[in-house]
Amino acid sequence: MEQIALTEETDKNLMAAHCRGDSDAFGTIVQRYGPGLLGYLKKMSNENGQAEDFFQETFARVHQKASTFRGPRLKPWLYRIATNIAMDGFRKNSRLKFVSLNRQADSDDANPQESGERVLVDGGPGPSEAAQTAETKEQVQRAIADLPDRQRATLVLAYYQRLSYKQVAEVLGCSVGTVKTHMFRALKSLARRLPDVSGGAA
């Protein structure tokens, strides 16, 4: 709790310093949250060029809207901007991009997902499973790509980024109940389309 409070306080101070024209403050913000944010956008778009465009646009928007930040938590506000930019970008495309299945956490304050709500299993494949890995990965990619935007964002934020439902709600600008609904529908859809993958869920 002390570390969280300290981070929130320094976030507020950094944003206030940035608004006063301190260029080093904005650089510190990018250094603190940039790697995780870029990883998130890569998972959302699965195209490095597009993710980098979203990344640049996100921090440009943060710079422009810095005076509207009310704190104390910068991360949900930052990810909300990034998510809106990504969704706008997806709507401009003819099809949704695939989500990367790399589950390595990019968030420095990851929270464990609630038990009983996972359908994706990423344990190392045994000898008998190795031949099916590529095919399974492609099936999951396609299933996630077909999810509606907000269900897809909820799944990526809650499962891959390991954000709590409360944090996801802050990012998406909705209630925790709505987040749970999106997650339930996303998992139900994946379970229906990927019975072999979901069969080993906790």
The model's pLDDT over 12-24, given as tens digits with 9 standing for 90+, comes to 899 999 999 998 9
Cα–Cα distance measured from residue 158 to residue 87, given in angstroms and rounded to the nearest whole number: 17
Going along the chain from its start, the domains and CATH numbers come out as: 2-92 (1.10.1740.10), 132-198 (1.10.10.10)
Q: Which of 29-43, 44-58, 118-132, 135-149 has the lowest mean pLDDT?
A: 118-132
DSSP string for residues in 93-157: SSSPPPPP-------TT--PPPTT------SPP-TTTGGGHHHHHHHHHHHHHTS-HHHHHHHII
The model's pLDDT over 174-194, given as tens digits with 9 standing for 90+, comes to 999 999 999 999 999 988 888
The model's pLDDT over 58-91, given as tens digits with 9 standing for 90+, comes to 999 999 999 999 877 898 899 999 999 988 887 7
Of 67 and 44, the structure prediction assigns the larger pLDDT to 67
The model's pLDDT over 83-92, given as tens digits with 9 standing for 90+, comes to 999 888 877 7
Residue 67: DSSP 8-state: G
Is a pLDDT exceeding 70 seen at residue 134?
no
Nearest to 180 by CA among 137, 117, 92, 135: 117
C-beta separation of 101 from 171 below 8 A = no
pTM for the structure as a whole: 0.67
Cα–Cα distance measured from residue 150 to residue 155, given in angstroms and rounded to the nearest whole number: 8
Of 32 and 104, the structure prediction assigns the larger pLDDT to 32
